[in-house]
Amino acid sequence: MLESCHDQGAGLRLQMPQTCPRLAALIGHGDTDTELPLLWQLCDALQSLGYRVAVLDASRAESFDTPGLQGLLDGSLSADDELDPSGSFAAVELSIFPAHRGLASLVGLDGVPDFGASARLGRALHSYDIAVLYGSAAQLAEWAGHCAIAPVLPAAPRKSSLLAVGKAVKTLADAGVLPTLASVVTRPGIATAGVAQAARENLARCAAYWLGREIDVLRVRSAPEGEPASTEVHRLALRLIEGAATLATVATPLAPAPDAAAFVRHGRTARSH
């Protein structure tokens, strides 16, 4: 099965413009015990496919010691300089850039990314093949809508996680964004499998209500620390790539993807009444 994933990844890489990085997104909702291990496993899977990967962490603000995305944008930091200074992602050798202020500097007063924002990001991230935005739905929904990104939204089979995901789905729906939902299982076992199945069904119902359409909820087994990423994580990494947007290095408007445009016309308007 893994060979199949690698073959698909090779095909996707051939389709990707070599001079323009891509921008993907993973939506967090406060469940870092689920989100962070999944994020670094996704990045590990991407690296195993030959991608140069960076993470733009919108949950962390830049500082003098960690200039992050703001430093990349103003030229005070090279994309080759920065690794994760906090150790949050110590399990994987990965470039992590705090990005809260940098992203905020690229949006207008209405919270929508400025014209040319994607080009500035593309130039700042020219050393990478793909950058993964990580942050809350409130932080990233307009970015996902502006760039026509289909973000990954993970959920653990817990009531608190499902409630938080429901709020995130609503926020994304308001921005016309269709996420890829992932029900993340961290422990094997029959009981856990049953709980996870119930969680997937609840997620599907929640998404159908807020998005106005049915979407698949993927089951993803998150591997314990130190173990290689599971087959499900590799498949999710491919979905992350498919849902990513190309960051042109010149200022050109980004049109919504056809599915997203149809969703804005039908799904969102249906929920607004």
Q: Which of the given ranges, 15-29, 63-77, 178-192, 207-221, has the highest pLDDT on average?
A: 63-77
pLDDT of residue 269: 37
Can you spell out the DSSP letters for the chain? -HHHHHHHHHHHHHHS-TTS-EEEEEEE-S-HHHHHHHHHHHHHHHHHTT--EEEEETTS---SS--HHHHHHHTSS-TTT---SS-TTTTS--EEEE-HHHHHTTB-TTSSBPTTHHHHHHHHTTT-SEEEEEEEHHHHHHHHHHHT---EEEE-SSHHHHHHHHHHHHHHHHTT---EEEEEE-S-SHHHHHHHHHHHHHHHHHHHHHHSS---EEEEEPPPTTSPPPHHHHHHHHHHHHT-EE--SS--PPPPPHHHHHHIIIIIHHHT-
Alpha-carbon distances, residue 70 vs 53, 55, 61, 97, 220 (angstroms): 18, 14, 9, 9, 33
Tell me what the mean pLDDT of segment 157-180 comes to.
88
pLDDT of residue 94: 82
Q: What would the pLDDT profile of 212-229 be if each residue is shown by its tens digit?
A: 888 878 988 887 777 778
Lowest mean pLDDT among 56-70, 73-87, 105-119, 122-136: 73-87
More confident residue, 41 or 203: 41
pLDDT of residue 79: 63
Judge whether residue 257 has pLDDT over 80. Answer: no
pLDDT of residue 8: 53
Residue 193 — pLDDT band, cuts 50, 70, 90?
low
Lowest mean pLDDT among 27-31, 127-131, 141-145, 220-224: 220-224
| Structural domains in the chain, sorted by start | 2-271 (3.40.50.300)
pLDDT of residue 3: 41
Contact 69, 56 (CB under 8 A): yes
How high is the mean pLDDT of the chain? 79
pLDDT of residue 216: 79
Q: What would the pLDDT profile of 77-108 be if each residue is shown by its tens digit?
A: 876 654 444 444 444 468 999 999 999 999 88
Judge whether residue 187 has pLDDT over 80. Answer: no
pLDDT of residue 93: 66
Tell me what the mean pLDDT of segment 152-168 comes to.
87
For 102-126, letters b (16+ CB in 10 Å) and e give bbeebeeeeeebeeebbbbbbbbbe
